Amino acid sequence: MEPKTEISRLSDIMPASGRMMCKIISKPEQKTVIESPYPLPWTGTREIWINFDLWGRLPQQQRDLLLLRTVSWLVGIKWFKPDVYQGMVVASLLGGVFELVQRDVVGVVVAGGLTALASTQIWRNNRSYQNQLSADEAAIKVAIRRGYSETEATQSLIRAIDAVAQIEGRSNLDFIELLRRQNLRAIAGLSPVGVPETIKKD
């Protein structure tokens, strides 16, 4: 598979937000089919690394859904959005600066602790199971706009999860892959049992 040609094709199926934010990079040395480093707040471009030798073993439909799923996950990670934790970070930082100017050591320590606490909560929210499941659902919606039926898109993503594990030489799916697979099976009507809400919120 010619990486440049495939990168061009994949860029065409990305949503506009993905084209602006994400960059596909060929990584022939990596052991995984597709991977993306977790984007930190100061990261501008969000990279998607693909081993095109392994990638070429997947049918096009599975490749499309894997790419859309990765883009949806990356676009869904929001470090700066108006919510209570973002407000706590800003307020704590401002309070810390004020206390520093006032030379109040206790105030600086308290403000620093609040900043760390709120930042940790933002980090956890971005890495939650719900974010992983939402990325799958967002990918399916984009795929439908690209001409796939919901059933076709969902089943292609389920097959891709299984195929990637096989290509990478893994005998078992990890916990999040099993959760995603079960959620997708419920969406496709292949299983009456979805993922419990208590796990989604974890």
Which tens digits make up the pLDDT trace of 155-179? 999 999 999 999 999 999 999 999 9
Nearest of 9, 54, 10, 4 to residue 29 by alpha carbon: 54
The average pLDDT across 11-27 equals: 95
Q: What angle do CA 133, 138, 141 make, to 5 degrees?
A: 135
Q: Is residue 136 a contact partner of residue 69, using CB atoms and an 8 Å limit?
A: yes
> What's the pLDDT band for 190 if we cut at 50, 70, 90?
confident
pLDDT higher than 50, residue 70: yes
Helix (H) or strand (E) holding 83: none
Distance CA 134, CA 131 (A): 5
The pLDDT score that the predictor gives to residue 127 is: 56
Q: Give this prediction's pTM.
A: 0.78
- Residues 29-38 have pLDDT tens digits of 999 999 999 8
Mean pLDDT of the chain: 82
The average pLDDT across 113-128 equals: 52
Distance CA 133, CA 25 (A): 25
The pLDDT score that the predictor gives to residue 186 is: 92
Nearest of 70, 69, 64, 68 to residue 49 by alpha carbon: 70
The pLDDT score that the predictor gives to residue 124 is: 53
The average pLDDT across 113-121 equals: 50
> What's the pLDDT band for 90 if we cut at 50, 70, 90?
very low
The pLDDT score that the predictor gives to residue 112 is: 53
Q: Which of 83-92, 101-110, 174-183 shows the highest mean pLDDT?
A: 174-183
Nearest of 193, 195, 72 to residue 129 by alpha carbon: 195
The pLDDT score that the predictor gives to residue 42 is: 73
Per the model's pLDDT, the better-predicted residue between 97 and 65 turns out to be 65
Domain borders along the chain are 3-78+128-200, 84-125
> What's the pLDDT band for 81 if we cut at 50, 70, 90?
low
